[in-house]
Amino acid sequence: MCQAAEQAGLPADAKFRAAFVAYLEWGSRIALENSQAGGRPPERMPVPRWWWVCNATPGARVSALAGKEPEEQVVTLPAAGQPVSFAAHIKPLFRSMDGNSMRFAFDLWSHEDVKTHSAEILKRLSNGSMPCDGGWSPDWVAVFRH
């Protein structure tokens, strides 16, 4: 399955691969259990969320090969009555990690892509499931909403 994932061009980064392999192992165990004589899968069985233990992701550690630490994310929110600009106010809300995580579906730094998927993005920003490592402040969500 991992070889097929490579051939299909799925992401090769450690975060994706760890979640993918964990899913394969989980799915294989479930398939084995359910295929046994007398095996009955529970109704509405919950599906786990694939994540790293204690949020210890590969990106959480600074690489020994890294140069200067990246600067903190600089976000300028529009003043009251000021129109919201994608380039000035929306794009800076998304970190490179966010863009890399969603690249398989759309480009968070593309005005057209964000506009096309804005309803779903707003839904996830509002319920805190995006970004995957913690929700935005209500002020940021309000800026995106406008």
> Domain for residue 75, yes or no?
no
pTM: 0.51
The rounded Cα 142 to chain-centroid distance in angstroms is: 20
Evaluate if residue 54 carries a pLDDT over 50: no
Domain encompassing residue 24: 2-56
Q: Confirm whether 66 is domain-assigned.
A: no
Rounded percentage of the chain residues whose pLDDT exceeds 90? 15
Is the pLDDT assigned to residue 112 strictly greater than 90?
yes
DSSP 70-128: PPPPP--PPPTTPPP-IIIIIGGGS-HHHHHHHTTT--TT-HHHHHHTHHHHHHHHHHT
100 within domain boundaries: yes
Q: Kindly state whether residue 70 falls inside one of the protein's structural domains.
A: no
- 137 within domain boundaries: yes
Same domain? For 52 and 91 the reply is no
Q: Is the pLDDT of residue 47 over 80?
A: no
Weakest mean pLDDT among 47-56, 70-79, 95-104, 108-117: 47-56
48 and 99 in a single domain? The answer is: no
pLDDT band at 68 (very low <50, low <70, confident <90, very high): low
Q: What is the tally of structural domains in the chain?
A: 2
CA distance 15 to 17: 6
Q: Say how many C-beta atoms besides its own lie within 10 A of residue 40's C-beta.
A: 8
**pLDDT tens digits along 125-135:** 998 888 877 78
Q: Please indicate, yes or no, whether residues 90 and 40 belong to a single structural domain of this protein.
A: no
Percent of the chain with pLDDT over 70: 79
In whole angstroms, give the CA distance from residue 98 to residue 132: 8
Residue 11 resides in a domain: yes
